[in-house]
Amino acid sequence: MALLSATIPIEEIIAGGGGESRGTQRFRRALAALGWLKTTFTVEKRINGVPRESQSHEVDHVRDYEGGRRIALEIEWNNKDPFYDRDLENYKRLHADGAISVGVIVTRGASLQGNMRSLVRRFMDDRGIDDLSALVEWGYQPTPRQKAAIEQRIERSKGALGFRDVFVDKFVSDKFGEATTHWRKLEDRVHRGVGNPCPLLLIGLPASIVSFSEGKAALREVEAADEEAEGEG
């Protein structure tokens, strides 16, 4: 149910900074409420009862089931793709040691990755955004490098490319590029046997998870969460 009800407002995608997305945070809270808790597994090697070597593996969400079955779950919404190697190797070791029965990875699905540009473009068209200043009210604050790159590309195209085209390409390439965690990168690793022989359940979040109905209400949630994080810091 936590996954079926998950949504990510487009405003959170636009305004999100470098940290974890609000949609991922909501999903994590929903999983925790259902008993999927962060767990550290410590595997220890002993010789004649004397500890010689130990390894620890932390998994963000773990739940026990009847019959001694234990399922581990990781969410990879938008990390660098080597995080898949870490997750799959952890699952392989934990399964070999009898600590887990199944490993689950939730990530951006093929339709979400493939349609990210059209989703961001729809946001721009719906809001009538034609310059960077209009994006500020939606929580997007470009770095000097991003601003310069957008302006230079528009200038080089001599008017052939408008602001929306340039921004969408730059934004998606920077934030959701090929080197980030998305379905094809995960699929490539599984086909190479990474994580084998641990049984795996791979879940790709579809493009339909992105919603367009929240408007400024979604932005206020982002701002409130940022203020709370600053207060805790």
Q: For residue 148, what pLDDT is reported?
A: 93
CA distance 9 to 103: 28
| 203 to 43, 88, 103, 187, 215: CA distances (angstroms) | 28, 14, 11, 11, 27
- The pLDDT of residue 233 is above 60: no
Backbone angles phi, psi at 195, to 5 degrees: 90, -15
Task: Indicate whether 229 pLDDT > 60.
Answer: no
DSSP letter, residue 162: -
* Of 231 and 62, more confident: 62
Say yes or no to pLDDT of 85 above 70. yes
Residue 154: what residue type? I
Mean pLDDT within 95-116: 97
**Residue carrying structure tokens 């000097």:** 144
> Is the pLDDT at 16 greater than 80, yes or no?
no
* Domain-wise residue ranges, the chain: 8-44+51-232
Per CATH, which fold does 8-44+51-232 belong to?
Restriction Endonuclease (3.40.91)
Q: Residues 148-195: pLDDT tens digits?
A: 999 898 888 876 789 999 999 999 999 999 999 999 999 999 999 999
pTM of the full structure: 0.89
